[in-house]
Copies of this chain bind each other. A is one copy, B any other.
């Protein structure tokens, strides 16, 4: 297998953490997003949508979405289970992962990509140019606050986002909480449950990669 990564971006970090939590060592190639390597012919031949992470499986299948990479690795390497066991836990992982993507990941991407001078013309990831929309950046900042509220309400009733143990949903939530710093947002100090949860994940070896 080959894992296409980028050390500065949150989406590949999610896959990197997932791989590390599975205890896997996968041949990794860094793609230099800042210098547009993802839009060059070599990488477009692998993923025409020009996004990372990508996992190319032993069988040559090209997986270009975090949920696809996680689904593949969970099926091939079930231990430890990171997508849950049994219908209820599996569903809870899927739900909280999706909520963190929509409320967290999307909001930070909107705030960053529609405001950063370095991302002018690059308001969306991928191979196509989209102009920045300043109002969307402002809306993203508001939505990040909603994301933090959602997490705190959930973590006041559950030690981990999906269930009683660490899962992919926690990876997704953690990565986006951490990445919010790029738009000067942090977990509110009053969000005590979220602060504790974040600190616990930060100590895991996978978080330091």
Contacts and interface: CB of A to CB of B under 8 A. Distances in A.
Place the interface of chain A in its size category: 35 or more
Interface in A81-99: 86-88, 90-95, 97-99
Nearest to A95: B68
A133 interface: yes
A150 B95 CA distance: 26
A57 B143 CA distance: 29
Given A76-B87, A139-B133, A71 B59 contact: no
A42 B153 CA distance: 19
A86 to B, nearest CB: 7
Given A136-B133, A136-B136, A72 B98 contact: no
B98 A65 contact: yes
Most chain B CB within a 10 A radius of its CB, from A95, A128, A135, A153: A95
A2 to B, nearest CB: 15
Contacts of A146: 128
A194 interface: no
A69 interface: yes
Interface in A43-76: 48-49, 57, 59, 61, 63-65, 67-72, 75-76
A71 B93 CA distance: 9
Nearest to A69: B91
A74 to B, nearest CB: 8
B65 A90 contact: no
Given A136-B136, A139-B130, A94 B75 contact: no
19 contacts: A49-B99, A57-B88, A57-B91, A61-B88, A61-B91, A65-B98, A67-B95, A67-B98, A68-B91, A68-B95, A71-B90, A71-B94, A72-B88, A72-B90, A75-B86, A75-B91, A130-B139, A133-B135, A136-B136
Given A70-B94, A123-B139, 19 more contacts: A49-B150, A57-B88, A59-B88, A61-B88, A63-B95, A64-B95, A64-B99, A65-B94, A65-B95, A67-B94, A67-B97, A67-B98, A69-B91, A71-B90, A72-B90, A72-B91, A75-B91, A130-B142, A131-B139
